[in-house]
Structures are given as C-alpha cells and as structure tokens.
Amino acid sequence: MDIRFEQVDFTYQPNTPFEQRALFDLNLMIKEGSYTAIVGHTGSGKSTLLQHLNALVKPTKGKVMIGDRTILPETNNKNLKPIRKKVGIVFQFPEAQLFEETVERDIAFGPKNFGVSDEEGKRLAKEMLTLVGLDESYLARSPFELSGGQMRRVAIAGVLAMEPEVLVLDEPTAGLDPQGRKEMMGMFQKLHDERGMTIVLVTHLMDDVANYADHVIVLEKGKIVKDGTPQSVFEDIDWLKEKQLGVPTAANFAEKLIAKGMSFDTLPLTAEALADDLLKELKAGVDL
Amino acid sequence: MMNKLIFGRYIPGDSFIHTMDPRAKLIASFYFIGIIFLANNWQTYAVLAVFTLFAIFLSKVNIRFFIRGIKPLIWLILFTVALQMLFTQGGEVYFKWGIFTVTEFGVINGLFIFCRFVLIIFMSTLLTLTTPPLDLSDAIEYLLRPLKVVRFPVHEVSLMLSIALRFVPTLMDETEKIMNAQRARGVDFGEGSLIQKMKAIVPLLIPLFVSSFNRAEDLATAMEARGYQGGEGRTKYRVLHWHLKDTVVMLAFVALTAILIFIRS
C-alpha cells in the first residue's frame, strides 16, 4: 500500500489568534515495502506529518492518498477505521497509552476495536508479546507493574496486534538502554524483511537511518529539504553539519580518513560498509 | 476540540491593559461584575457598554475574539433570556399562550439580562486574554493574604493554583496525544450512543490519571531536591508592581460607580 502526499498544507487552529502553520506544500511518496526514515529538528513538523499517515488529522490543503483512499480537507471523519487498521502508529513514549487491567487485554484492545473475536484477540496477544521479546507469563500481569522498557514493548505489541500493513514509529527507542534499543530496531527490521511490512521511522539517530532505512526524508520548518536514498542524503556531509542534523558515526570516521588522504568510491554509511571498504583498500596494498 | 475555546486563554501583547498590574485587573474585573447590577435602565447599560468597549479598545485585541468567546455560552444566555421573556409579568401584554406571556417588562428584562451576560463575559475574557495565568495566580495569592489571619493556607493554595495553571496546557497536550494514540488503535471518540461514548472515554481517562500520578510524584521529588520546604521563609522572584496607571484605572471605576448611581432609575 503506497502513501502519497500531494501539495499538503497543514495549519493548526486556523482562523484564530493561535493559528500556526506546520506543513508547507509537502509532496512525498512512501512506497509499499519501503523503510522510510523521516528526520529533522524538533518542531520541523515530523509529528504533524505522522498524523496524516492514518488520517488522524486531515490536510488543510492538498490531498493525502493512503492506498486507495484519498483524504481531502473536506473528507468526512466517518469510515476512517479501515485506514487506521492498515496504518499502525507507535507514538512517542507509547507506554502512556496502556490502560487495561492485564497486558493481554491491552494488546487485544486494538484488534477488538476492528472487530476481531475474543479468541483471535487472545491468540494475537500471545503472538505479539513473544514477538516483542516478552514471554507468556506477562499476559496476566497489570501493565502498570512493569518496568518502563517492558511497558514500551507491550504498547508496541498492542499496535502490532492490529496487523497493520504500514508501521509508523515515532522515536520508538527514545529512553531505552542500548541493548533494548538494538533488540527493538532488530525486531522492526525483521518485520520489514520477513513480513514485508512498510516502515516509516521518525528518529534523531542518524546511525539508525544509515543502518536500516532505504529512503530518507529531511524536514525543516514544515518543508521537505531533501528526499532520497540515505546515500544521496548523507553524501553532502557539510550540508548536514550546517543543518546540525548529525552524521552517521561511520560516515564521520570515513570523512576523517578522507581528510588524511584516503578515498572511497561511495561514502560508507554503516560500520559494515566502512569495514568492507577498508578491507578492500588493505588488499589492494595501500599503506595505511 | 479545545482549540475553539477562546475564553480563558492568553494573547501576548504590550497594550495599556496588558501591562497593568494583575491585582488591579483582578479587582477591577470582580468590581465590574458587582457594579453591573447597579444598572437598571438603558442609559446605565449604555455607559457600561461604552466603558467595556473602551477597555477592549485599550487592550488592542481584536473584538472578534470577544464575540467568539461568547459562542460556547450562547445557549445558556438565550435560555435565560427566553425564560425571562416568557414568565415575567407586568406592563403591556404582547402575547399570551397558556402559561407563557410575553410582556413589555419581560422583553425589557430579557434584553437587560442579555446585556449583562455579554458585558460580564467581555470583561472576564478581557482579563484572561491580557493576563498570563501565572500573573493571575500571583495576584490571587496577594489578594488572599489577609486570610492568613484566619489560618487560611494562602501559600499552599496559591502554590497548588500555580502548579495547576502551569500544567493545564501540558495536560491538554497529553490528552491530545493519548487520544490520538487510542484513535490509532481504533477508538471512536464522541460517536455512537451515550454508553458507547462513555466507554470510549475509559482508554483516555485511565492513562491520563496514571500519568498525572507519575507526574505529581516526579514533581514532588524534584521540588524537594531543590530545597522546597513549604512557604515559610521563601522570597519572591516575580514581584508585582503597582503603577500610577493602576490607580488611574481604580479611580475610573469609582467614577463609573458614581455615574451609575447618579443615572440609574
């Protein structure tokens, strides 16, 4: 399922003294099966953009096409549920959305809203809980007695249980320890690779962008300033530094090697790519 | 949802009204609500209306926002006005049907009540549109001070008030966030029968309460860590200043009262 934005504008509280424009004439395309990363400073409109992806807000101008549905400014708020089922959003700090008595019921809450039976809900809860790395003993526990990291997992499982085609993640690893962060990113990667899930990731971590994404959208003040593959976006390191967006660690290191006289065919973005390139150079007999 | 509410919000500015002492504004607003009951004929209402419009003019806030501020209350106002019109006896009878009578007095009373509502709402909207909430709570703390004599916990109440005011926008944001998260999980807010609507509130209310508890605990810890031990022996960072113009405004209100008493019938 593709998601397409055509000349999308969005203004908060239009026609009031508190009017604030958040998105300016956005054109973008999220292809089915892609892993898209959206980066930009705080307040660049990333979260506003996210809410357009499953019609939580409607554009004030332009149109958003989600699969075969088109969302226009005048689109009725009814019958948007099918879209919400197909596009699951994990918001920032999703542990704040837990409310049920048990983990099982909380995970099954989403699917049940979309008409899934109790049995099926239970099955999904069990499956998703293992998927996010917790065992079945957690099913009967209250979500409020879990640790922060476990709550986060349960919340994510609750979104995954709706079996969305597109998974939108707003800084899913913020506030997690390095191990948890790695596990979680690995899990999303697996969902993308094995189940063909389309993933949209909002993040400040350029290493994650370089490691996982195949498409990057850079937002600034509500406008798209760059859009392309990670390679093409990260190519211009000076531009990134000027925009204070951060550079992947590997690319940063490669840049230092270039300053010392080394050369690469393409700028390596990940540790693996850097290691491969260095190995090649070594084999070619270059004296480091 | 909450975006439409103008009443109770602050628009930054540097007009005459904006830069007044919040205590003066608070006293003036309450005083105005008091003296509005002095008005009992057209001349008095005209004087009050001119006074209110002049105050709005001084605040440099667009009058449209005041008119919009009335909108949420318009049904309450119309209901009261209608009751007055239909059930007041006296004067020439225009219309009679069962227990309903529309009389001269009724119509006039209804219109007076309408004016009264609008003027009170305008004045209180003016207060909140031009005064930051924290200034208001400072003013309330200052004005409550005399109650210390009767052991009223002035500091505690004003601390709670300023914390509450500070967290209104935060909680609003939080509400919006949780609402969005639950909508993304398939909850329909404000749809279906009354029972369905009430059920849909649960996934919003519980997380909101839980996060408020967490927030309160964190805040209390952070306050203690920074040496907060209650109101005793604290100094003030924000100090209120009473200027000449605040006195002038107070005098204007005294003059207004005199005029009202003079021309009321």
pLDDT in tens, B167-204: 888 898 899 999 999 999 989 888 888 898 888 899 99
C-alpha A20/C-alpha A11 separation (Å) is 6
Q: In this structure, how many other beta carbons lie within 10 angstroms of the beta carbon of residue B134?
A: 15
Residue A143 distance to chain B (closest CA, Å): 11
* Contact state of A17 with B184 under an 8 Å Cβ cutoff: no
* Contact state of A113 with B186 under an 8 Å Cβ cutoff: yes
Q: In this structure, how many other beta carbons lie within 10 angstroms of the beta carbon of residue A134?
A: 19
ipTM of the prediction: 0.87
**Residues facing A61 on adjacent strands:** A9
Classify the phi-psi angles of B3: left when phi > 0, otherwise alpha if psi is within -120 to 50, otherwise beta: alpha
Cβ(B99)–Cβ(B200) below 8 Å = no
Q: Is A112 helix (H, G, I), strand (E, B) or coil?
A: helix
Q: What per-residue confidence (pLDDT) applies to B4? A: 52
Longest Cα separation, chain A: 68
The tokens for A252 are 């940063």
Angle between helix B74-87 and helix B104-130 axes, rounded to 10 deg: 160
The type of residue at B15 is S
Q: CA-nearest residue of chain A to B174?
A: A96
C-alpha A74/C-alpha A93 separation (Å) is 31
Cβ(A1)–Cβ(A166) below 8 Å = yes
* Contact state of B186 with A17 under an 8 Å Cβ cutoff: no
Residues of chain A predicted below pLDDT 50: none
Residues of chain B contacting A125 with CB distance shorter than 8 Å:
none
Beta strands at A223-228 and A215-220: parallel, antiparallel or unpaired: antiparallel
Q: CA-nearest residue of chain A to B11?
A: A17
Residue A235 distance to chain B (closest CA, Å): 36
Q: What per-residue confidence (pLDDT) applies to A119? A: 94
Angle at B150 between CA B146 and CA B151, to 5 degrees: 100
* Contact state of A16 with B186 under an 8 Å Cβ cutoff: no
Q: What per-residue confidence (pLDDT) applies to B2? A: 46
Q: Is A170 helix (H, G, I), strand (E, B) or coil?
A: strand
Instruction: Return the DSSP state at A15.
Output: T
The type of residue at A238 is D
The closest CB to that of A98, out of B183, B187, B207, belongs to B207
Q: Which of B50, B38, B33, B40 is nearest to B111 (CA)?
A: B40
Residue B1 confidence class, pLDDT cut points 50, 70, 90: very low
The closest CB to that of B185, out of A51, A144, A162, belongs to A162
Q: What per-residue confidence (pLDDT) applies to B5? A: 57
Q: CA-nearest residue of chain A to B192?
A: A78
Residues of chain A contacting B181 with CB distance shorter than 8 Å:
89, 91, 94, 96-97
B78-109 per-residue burial string, b: 16 or more CB within 10 A, e: under 16? eeebeebbbebeeeeeeeeeeeebbbeebbbb
* Contact state of B11 with A17 under an 8 Å Cβ cutoff: yes
* Contact state of B187 with A113 under an 8 Å Cβ cutoff: yes
Q: Is A236 helix (H, G, I), strand (E, B) or coil?
A: coil
Q: Which of A76, A44, A201, A80 is nearest to B180 (CA)?
A: A80
Q: What per-residue confidence (pLDDT) applies to A111? A: 94
Residue B223 confidence class, pLDDT cut points 50, 70, 90: very high
C-alpha A183/C-alpha A191 separation (Å) is 12
- Tell me which residues of chain A have a C-beta less than 8 Å from any C-beta of chain B: 12-13, 16-18, 51, 54, 56, 81, 84-85, 88-89, 91-92, 94, 96-99, 109-110, 113-114, 144, 158-159, 162
Q: What per-residue confidence (pLDDT) applies to A200? A: 95
Q: What per-residue confidence (pLDDT) applies to A95? A: 92
Q: Is A251 helix (H, G, I), strand (E, B) or coil?
A: helix
C-alpha A209/C-alpha A207 separation (Å) is 5
Q: CA-nearest residue of chain A to B68?
A: A16
Residue A113 distance to chain B (closest CA, Å): 5
Q: CA-nearest residue of chain A to B201?
A: A99
Task: State residue B98 phi and psi, 5-degree precision.
Answer: 60, -130
The closest CB to that of B3, out of A13, A98, A159, belongs to A13
By percentage, how much of chain B surpasses pLDDT 70? 96
- pTM, two decimals, is 0.80
Q: What per-residue confidence (pLDDT) applies to A287? A: 56
Q: Which of B8, B24, B7, B27 is nearest to B16 (CA)?
A: B24
Q: What per-residue confidence (pLDDT) applies to A210? A: 92
Task: State residue A217 phi and psi, 5-degree precision.
Answer: -120, 125
- Would you give the distance in Å from CA A288 to the centre of its chain? 39
pLDDT, average across residues B225-251: 89
Cα dihedral value B129, B130, B132, B136, nearest 10: -100
Count of CB contacts below 8 A, A vs B? 66
The closest CB to that of A89, out of B184, B203, B210, belongs to B184
Q: Which of B185, B191, B199 to mutate to test the interface with A (most CBs of A within 10 A)?
A: B185
C-alpha A194/C-alpha A187 separation (Å) is 10
The tokens for B112 are 């007076």
* Contact state of B181 with A91 under an 8 Å Cβ cutoff: yes
* Contact state of B3 with A54 under an 8 Å Cβ cutoff: no
- How is chain B classified by DSSP, letter by letter? -GGG--TT------STTTTS-HHHHHHHHHHHHHHGGG--SHHHHHHHHHHHHHHHHHHT--HHHHHHHHGGGHHHHHHHHHHHHHH---S-EEEEETTEEEEHHHHHHHHHHHHHHHHHHHHHHHHHHHS-HHHHHHHHHHHHGGGGGGT--HHHHHHHHHHHHHHHHHHHHHHHHHHHHHHHTT--TT-SSHHHHHHHHHHHHHHHHHHHHHHHHHHHHHHHHTT---STT---SS-----HHHHHHHHHHHHHHHHHHHH--
Q: What per-residue confidence (pLDDT) applies to B6? A: 56
pLDDT, average across residues B9-19: 83
Q: Which of A103, A71, A102 is nearest to A87 (CA)?
A: A71
Kindly tell me the burial class for residue A108, based on how many C-beta atoms sit within 10 Å of its own C-beta (0-12, 13-18, 19 or more): buried
* Contact state of B183 with A84 under an 8 Å Cβ cutoff: yes
The tokens for B25 are 């504004």
Residue B3 distance to chain A (closest CA, Å): 6
* Contact state of B211 with A96 under an 8 Å Cβ cutoff: yes
The tokens for B206 are 């519980």
Residues of chain A contacting B190 with CB distance shorter than 8 Å:
none
The tokens for A166 are 């597109």
pLDDT, average across residues B134-156: 90
C-alpha A10/C-alpha A26 separation (Å) is 9
Residues of chain B contacting A109 with CB distance shorter than 8 Å:
185, 203
Instruction: Return the DSSP state at A23.
Output: E
Any alpha helices (H) in chain A, and if so which ranges? 46-53, 81-86, 103-113, 118-131, 148-160, 178-195, 206-212, 230-234, 237-242, 249-259, 271-283
Q: What per-residue confidence (pLDDT) applies to A51? A: 92
Q: Which helix (H) or strand (E) holds A228?
A: strand A223-228
C-alpha A188/C-alpha A185 separation (Å) is 5
* Contact state of B186 with A110 under an 8 Å Cβ cutoff: yes
Q: What per-residue confidence (pLDDT) applies to A229? A: 93
Q: What per-residue confidence (pLDDT) applies to B89? A: 73
Classify the phi-psi angles of A18: left when phi > 0, otherwise alpha if psi is within -120 to 50, otherwise beta: alpha
Beta strands at A69-71 and A20-30: parallel, antiparallel or unpaired: unpaired
